[in-house]
Amino acid sequence: MSTLVHEAPAAIDATAWHLAEQEDHDHGGNGATMVGFWIYLMSDALIFASLFATFGVLSNSYAGGPTPKEIFDLPLVAFNTALLLLSSLTYGFAMLAMTEGRLGGTRAWLVATALLGAAFLGVELYEFSSLIAEGAGPQRSAFLSAFFTLVGTHGAHVAFGLIWIAVMLVQLAQRGLILENRRRLMCLSMFWHFLDIIWIGVFSFVYLFGMVR
């Protein structure tokens, strides 16, 4: 399993450069699309950095309300983390299938990724609803406001990613693995792996650090 995890990102990076070079040759410089998407990801990273910083400042502002140890269900969050990390692996397999020209395999792994992403989102919504039902909603304290904002923003990105996957499945069904669809899948791949990296930060900084503080 570890070998596959290490091979998938390498193949994805090679595909990215190949697509960029092919676009430059065929479309006179449209490979800038990839660069533009990297710029978007960096701007998105700044947004999350601001949210992390805000949470760091407000993480001790309980206002007499519940603390992380009292409300966080760490086993549930760990299970949800595993779902999202596994979805990153399945997306890697989708990209490998794409490089091999296997349309059916690409679509199947995209569906698997979407199911895991939807499961992750469902668990997150369950966590939010449980906290609100216990009186630990975002209005209860500054800590909870920052928590719901940070985690909720990430969840909104996952929901957007699921919509993007659905659109790509339709595009693949209609037009197959044409160059434009390959480029879009590459951008979606970067976006999805970016969400995994952000969530690792959330899990470590918000949940784990909150439980040991």
The percentage of residues in the chain with a pLDDT greater than 70, rounded to a whole number, is 85
Q: Is 35 inside any structural domain?
A: no
The model's pLDDT over 139-185, given as tens digits with 9 standing for 90+, comes to 999 999 999 999 999 999 999 999 999 999 999 999 999 999 999 99
Q: Is 13 inside any structural domain?
A: no
Q: Is 65 inside any structural domain?
A: no
Full residue range of the structural domain in which residue 93 is found: 76-213
CA atoms in the 13 A half-sphere facing the CB of 44: 17
The DSSP string of 52-63 is HHHHHHHTT--T
Q: Is 30 inside any structural domain?
A: no
Q: Is 67 inside any structural domain?
A: no
The DSSP string of 101-120 is T-HHHHHHHHHHHHHHHHHH
The confidence score (pLDDT) of residue 14 equals: 47
Q: Is 162 inside any structural domain?
A: yes
The confidence score (pLDDT) of residue 34 equals: 85
The model's pLDDT over 65-122, given as tens digits with 9 standing for 90+, comes to 999 999 999 999 999 999 999 999 999 999 999 999 999 999 999 999 999 999 999 9
Task: Annotate 189-205 with b (16+ C-beta within 10 A) or e (fewer).
Answer: bbbbbbbbebbeebbee
Q: Is 20 inside any structural domain?
A: no
The model's pLDDT over 21-43, given as tens digits with 9 standing for 90+, comes to 444 444 444 467 888 999 999 99
Q: Is 116 inside any structural domain?
A: yes
Provide the domain count of the chain: 1
pTM confidence score:
0.85
The CATH number of the domain where 135 resides is what?
A: 1.20.120.80
